[in-house]
Structure 1
């Protein structure tokens, strides 16, 4: 879709057309639809809706609205809204920062690292650490950190609802993973550096930006 329209009016019209086509493809209760075709069409609608949302947010910002207002409307923090829709300028180059996530398996790798750390398989976890984390993340640091979390929310019970949230922040790929504890929810945050090594690992409250 190299020649896809970029104005909000054109995108909105195309979205309405694709949504209408999807509705028609559902068919009647008597005739089962082609379900794989439905998935493909729904995916097209989802992608176009994301373009419409991004352009709406951009125009909202151009009109003077704050990231706090946009975040409140979307039910996220202002930082989360900025990370999703903002266009930060790299102070080193003066150019827009590349927000493309290139680690296709970032979520899966982050889940494995968190699982290994929580279950005490540190030899396996450390294979993913960069030099700084490898030096700093000792068994004592791990134990103290988990003890602090346990004191706040009790025992770890498993991964929480929702998919991992993957995004690129500066030179790092960052993954947030919902966690479920005995007395509350938390989230694990794993940051990968440009070499795809773990550059940071934290357990945070869900509202932490």
Structure 2
């Protein structure tokens, strides 16, 4: 019960700060004849966004503590239950029994993953191969790439481009995993690029968007 009370106080304090900062952001807009200081707006909006993320995480935690499922939370957020868990869950390492570190340490994971996916989908394997680890380099031959592209084309037709949605980056075990939304002729897919601890590509897949 003490933990619940402490969590509620924290949530109340966070939402109070969020309301204050949101009010300050609105006040910084200025009047109709006086343009705002736009960089100040960016700074204030950044601070509001950070606090809103903290409120969301704590609200999800309390919802789980109250017995709500990841399916309910995912439905509310418009994502799968696995995506909700990967974003907000606290997995336990079965090897040690300790909470797993979910910190993404690759600052450029999304950018690198997109560049690699672009190269592979565009047939520019000479650009992609330097990013592969030894296992992927040995296994992902041009023949294997062609077989995979043909399988995807048989399902959803020709590749048309990258979707506008931002890549989804998270840490899964020892890997940094990036999902990149893709548009195809007859449906949407996603490219998944997994980086190992040396920040080399340890896996690259084209998957249906609902695949966990």
* Bucket of the pairwise TM-score, normalised by the shorter protein: over 0.9
Any idea what the Cα deviations from partners look like across 1:121-140, whole Å, max 9, x if unmatched? 11221111111111211112
Say which SS state the counterpart of residue 80 (structure 1) adopts: helix
* 1:147 aligned onto 2:158: no
- Secondary structure of residue in 2 paired with 1:126: helix
Shift of 1:208: 1.4
- Which of residues 127, 130, 145 is equivalent to 1:127? 130
Which of 185, 188, 192 does residue 189 from structure 1 map onto? Answer: 192
Per the TM alignment, residue 6 of structure 1 is displaced from its structure 2 partner at its CA by 6.9
SS at match of 2:28: helix
Give, in whole Å, the separation in 2 of the partners of 1:34 and 1:151: 53
Give me the CA root mean square deviation.
1.3
1:137 is aligned to 140
Aligned to 2:4: none
Measured in 1, the distance between the counterparts of 2:183 and 2:172 equals 25
Give yes or no for the alignment of 1:10 onto 2:31: no
Residue in structure 1 matched with residue 47 of structure 2 by the alignment: 44
**Structure 2: where are the runs of 5+ without partners?**
1-7
Give unpaired runs (5+ residues) of structure 1. Answer: none
- Partner in structure 1 of residue 36 of structure 2: 33
The structural deviation recorded for 1:99 is 0.8
**How far apart in 1 are the matches of 2:79 and 2:181?**
15
With normalisation by structure 1, the TM-score equals: 0.95
Give the secondary structure class of the aligned counterpart of 1:151: helix
Q: CA deviation at 1:193?
A: 0.4
Q: Which residue of 2 aligns with 1:206?
A: 209
For residues 94-121 of structure 1, the C-alpha deviation after alignment (integer angstroms, 9 at most, x for no partner) is: 2211111111111111111111111111
CA distance in structure 2 between the partners assigned to 1:186 and 1:137 by the alignment: 20
Separation in 1 of the partners of 2:111 and 2:16?
A: 37
- Are 1:93 and 2:96 matched, yes or no? yes
> In the comparison of the two structures, how many residue pairs are matched?
205
Residue 70 of structure 2: which of 67, 70, 86 is its match? 67
Deviations 1:71-92 (A, max 9, x none): 1111100000000000111112
